[in-house]
Chains A and B, each alone.
Chain A
Amino acid sequence: MGVLLILIGYFLGAAFDSAITGLVIAILLWVILSLVAYFQGDSILLSMSRAKKIKRDDHPRLYNVVEEMRIASGLEKMPDIYIIDDPALNAFATGRDPNRASVAITSGLLQKLNRDELQGVIGHEISHIKNRDVLLMAMCGVLLGTIVLLAWYGGRLLIFGGAGSRRSSSSGGGGGAIIILVLALVFMILAPIFAQLIYFAISRKREYLADASSALYTRYPEGLASALEKLGASTGQLKSANKATAPMYIINPFRKKGMKASDLSSTHPPISERIRILRAMAGASFNNYDQAYRQVHGGMGVIPAASLTAETVPIATMKLEGEAGEPTEIQRARETSDVMWRMSNYNTIICDCGAKLRVPPNFKEPQIKCPHCGRTHQI
């Protein structure tokens, strides 16, 4: 993609003044955008998605699961945990290096998943952090953005701008100059498309790798598979996602209902395929994932050869749904909504009759009456 950027800068420059100017503009633009993405990317992303940071006591189970996955992956620092108040089902990881990382999950997903599934999803996100995918995708995204921007402006300038007049005043041009102009025009149109395709290909490859890592960390591919099944069945779109942030999420936030093909033009592989690969795994190692991938998808494997080892890691034994201490979906929903209310500074009072009173932060009275049984409570 870097080559594409430099070429586009070169042609842009060639068409107007000198190739060098174009190159300088392209590289300068790219450097500035990269610096912004590097230093501010995570906070921009988190504030755009209106995520709220939680502490251990806000949601002990989520915190524990993240810590479990941190230990399993050998990550040294505990990532920050955020909850996005949105019924859509999704999760993402961000942060430029493993020591400054965050994991975010929507409240919808949090109440939909049981512990094993949550572990699978968090394992997937932690491995994005561990593999430094966040930085990779941010840099690729910026490169893509720069190419698109340059191509767009370049195209406008080339068509409407002073290319013709400039040419008549300069050294006369001739056949060569026209060929360059045509080449430049074709390139302006094709470059963004190619860049996009490369970007999507990288993104999909990292998703497969993260799935494989999640299976390895949890030793339980079925957890992630069944979480993906729930994610796939949902139709809600995340309100706060946009095109630039799409590859950070666990599933493509723009997926339309029934969309499956999406082979070349999506940041994520089709969910059904990811599930089939996970379920076809004979063990939990990268090697097993690679074999399962070849079996489901055909063709070459997807895991970088350097991380492949010959061993097979056994899958953990089947865990039981509704095991002792495992909250039901209704309990999880209550738990999550308690957290959301608390984070918006609402005061929750549980009345003796069982009613829950949510007192808004701007309620000034010293006491409140339960509307259900009429008892008064001090605030």
Chain B
Amino acid sequence: MLPVYIIIGVVVVLAIILFVLYNGLVRLRNQVKNAWAQIDVQLKRRHDLIPNLVETVKGYMKFERETLEAVTKARNIAQQASSAGAGERAKAEGELSSALSRLLAVVERYPDLKANQNFLALQEELTSTENKISFSRQFYNDSVLRYNNQTQMVPSNVVASMFGFKASEFFEVTVAAEREAPKVSFTQ
């Protein structure tokens, strides 16, 4: 009789370990999904803000046609990339970020615009949305790191490959333009 009990005991312990590891992986994967949804919300918000911004700024910035067009174009490309994977999307959004920062750098030259209440409110929204994008990206990448570590480390990697938990992609901004300071050209 005794060996039967030992076998049952071992099976039960193994089952419990399996449950714990599996649930841990599911929790981390859900956190990654949730974090991705957060980024998504903020990116959409930025897309929605831009036409409004361009509309407000247009009247004041007669000589900045190119800068404004670049922003609109980058926004449209980014919007089309919405359904693409994390890597491609990050690239399109990075382009948009740099186009926007060029625009906001140029604003310094228009004191009338800087006094416009409407513009100030928009600028606060835009600054905050940029921050929210980078904070949600930060949280997403931390979640992905934790999740990927779990899917690769012993013993949870066994459970991960058994149930098809795949590693997630990081949301990295690889565009060089976002890292360097925005260039302001004084030729018109």
Contacts and interface: CB of A to CB of B under 8 A. Distances in A.
B131 A325 contact: no
Contacts of B107: 324
Nearest to B139: A74
B48 interface: no
A72 B139 contact: yes
A68 B132 contact: yes
Contacts of A324: 104-105, 107-108, 114, 123
Contacts, number: 48
Interface string B6-21: 0000000000000000
B188 to A, nearest CB: 20
A74 B37 CA distance: 12
B127 interface: yes
* Interface range for A: 10 to 19
A60 interface: yes
B124 interface: yes
B35 A64 contact: no
Contacts of A73: 139
A31 interface: no
Given A60-B121, A324-B104, A71 B136 contact: yes
Given A71-B38, A219-B138, A325 B123 contact: yes
Main secondary structure of the interface of A (DSSP, over half): helix
A60 B126 CA distance: 12
A217 B135 contact: yes
A286 B28 CA distance: 21
Contacts of A60: 121, 124-125, 128
A369 interface: no
A61 interface: yes
B124 A61 contact: yes
A72 B138 contact: yes
B168 interface: no
A76 B34 CA distance: 9
Nearest to A68: B131
B158 interface: no
Contact of B124 (A67, A69, A217, A325): A325
A74 B32 CA distance: 11
B56 interface: no
Interface in B67-107: 104-105, 107
Contacts of A68: 128, 131-132, 135
Interface in B125-158: 125, 127-128, 131-132, 135-136, 138-139, 143
B26 interface: no
A72 B34 CA distance: 13
A72 B124 contact: no
B128 A67 contact: yes
Interface string A46-89: 00000000000000110011011101111010000000000000
Contacts of A61: 124, 128
Given A60-B121, A324-B108, A72 B128 contact: no
Given A71-B136, A72-B138, A74-B35, A325 B120 contact: yes
Given A60-B121, A71-B38, A325 B135 contact: no
A84 to B, nearest CB: 23
A173 to B, nearest CB: 55
Given A324-B107, A324-B108, A71 B132 contact: yes
Given A69-B135, A325-B104, 14 more contacts: A60-B124, A60-B125, A64-B125, A65-B128, A67-B132, A68-B128, A71-B38, A71-B139, A72-B135, A72-B138, A74-B35, A76-B34, A217-B135, A219-B138
- Which 9 pairs across A and B sit closest by C-beta, in order of nearness? A64-B128, A72-B135, A325-B123, A71-B135, A68-B131, A71-B136, A74-B139, A68-B135, A68-B132
